[in-house]
Structure 1
Amino acid sequence: MSKSFPDATLRLLTGVPKGGRALELGEVRAENPERVTDAIQGYTDISAYDQLYVDDQRAIGQYEADEKSLYEFLWESSLPPEFPIIVEDGEMEFDLTATQDQFEAFGAALDDTGREYELLTLVHTDEQDALLTDRQREYLTVAHRRGYFEVPRECTLAELADTLGVDKSSASETIRRGAGRIIGRFTLSRD
């Protein structure tokens, strides 16, 4: 379906198997979303389509689909789907959160289907390799919530330190070190 509308973005917001079908909530983002949803409603695998929202750039619909292979594949791989699943011009993109063993099993199951796929990004985390210490995370979270990073600032360093129950120099140092770690992780020119 998405290949018929290569400029449209189809987003599967959520879905669950329902008997012999899948009950899904989908979104269309396109220049003329009603043209795309009309085609979806007329597609042989789609039944019971209800348009829930439409404007000049976006439409949301709930429908039942005969095609359940996505759910069957995810069920066999023992991984719950992460929504939204984005489909553009015949290609599907989704996120996956898994242990290393689950990830490898998922890759093997995908290989067994014979479908082409591409790993776009891989993020690996360990508790031992955490970006921030618990204290840095706490201080940065409080600073963000209180508006310390806003322009203009919504709270001063003294007010922030008072909220955290520490002196200004401790608050400042912990926030600077935590912010430095985050900036270092996400900048391209890292030493």
Structure 2
Amino acid sequence: MTQARLVVDLPEGPWVADVSRAHPDATFQVLTALAGDGPGFALVWITGAPIDPILDDMAAHPAVTELSVAQRTEREATVQFETSAPLLLIAAKRAGVPIEMPLEIRDGEATIDVTGPHDRLSALAAQFDDLGVPFEVRYVRERVEPSELLTDAQRELLLAAVDAGYYDTPRTCSLTDLAERVGVAKSTASETLHRAEAAVIREFVDDLPGYVQREGSEERSEGD
């Protein structure tokens, strides 16, 4: 499966494009959304700016046909709404690839994460082109399945280490104890665990927002 992050410059018309540009200090996080054949329904969390003017602009926008405030404070609110123009959801539905939530919009720009077969991600890009929606690709990478991340030996030793309490705080199993428990040399256990930990940590860090691999760092090698 291919994973991609796109930054989409929303056109005028959709409520979130217009309202977020009118309130550039606010962040709109779409927590859940559903696009049908007609209107789209969503739950959005708004933070970072005085809320009342934002809610007034949302309620007054012609694309918002229904609005209900679930909770609010002076600078944040959770809002359930119905809209007649769920542009991003329509494009994703036509391409057959779901947009991962939460979806964040700020000052007219939407940062979206999608995962799917390469041809469907290409279809999503084509949908944006057809709709005249500019976008920038921040990254494209192959997503590694958990079953493919570790070798059998690494996975078995890592699970044994967890079961034995090697990663407990305080630790209830030493590396020597773990090696004896699984019947390998201490040096073998140490190297195997190190490679497993490195693979898991790299995969976790790759998914952190804003992380960019430093130039010159080593790529993951086969068997690590």
TM-score, reference length from structure 1: 0.78
| Corresponding residue number in structure 2 for 1:99 | 117
Match of 1:25 among 24, 43, 51: 43
**In structure 2, C-alpha distance between the alignment counterparts of 1:53 and 1:146, rounded to whole Å:** 45
- The counterpart of 1:174, out of the listed 180, 186, 192, is 192
**Aligned length, in residue pairs:** 187
> Higher strand proportion, which one?
2
Describe the shift of the 1:38–1:108 C-alpha distance in structure 2 as closer, same or farther (beyond 3 A).
same
Instruction: Please name the residue that 2:55 is paired with.
Output: 37
Counterparts of 1:172 and 1:132, CA distance in 2 = 15
> What is the CA RMSD across the aligned residues, in angstroms?
3.3
Q: How does 1:75-154 map to 2 (within 5 A)?
A: 75-125=93-143, 130-137=148-155, 139-140=157-158, 148=166, 153-154=170-171
Q: 2:35–2:86: 8 Å Cα contact kept in structure 1? A: yes
Question: What secondary structure sits across from 1:7 in the alignment?
Answer: coil
Shift in Å at residue 126 of structure 1?
5.8
Q: Tell me, what secondary structure is at the counterpart of 1:11?
A: strand
**Distance (Å, rounded) in 2 between the aligned partners of 1:58 and 1:176:** 44
3-state SS of 1:123 partner: strand
Report the Cα distance in structure 1 between the residues aligned to 2:77 and 2:107, rounded to whole angstroms.
18
> TM-score by structure 2 length?
0.68
Equivalent residues of 2:166, 2:175 under 8 A apart: no
Aligned match of 2:84 in 61, 66, 84?
A: 66
Q: Measure how far apart 1:96 and its partner are.
A: 0.7
> CA–CA distance in 2 between the matches of 1:26 and 1:160?
51
Question: Which one scores higher on RCO, CA 8 angstroms, separation ≥ 6?
Answer: 2
Residue identity over aligned pairs, in percent, reads: 26
2:196 aligned partner, one-letter code:
G
In structure 2, C-alpha distance between the alignment counterparts of 1:54 and 1:184, rounded to whole Å: 38
Unmatched runs of 5 consecutive residues or more in structure 1: none
Distance 1:80 1:35 in 2: 31
Q: Which stretch has the larger CA shift, 107-116 or 82-91?
A: 107-116
* Correspondence for 2:22: 4
Secondary structure of residue in 2 paired with 1:83? strand
Q: Which amino acid aligns with 1:155?
A: T
CA distance in 2, matches of 1:79, 1:34: 35
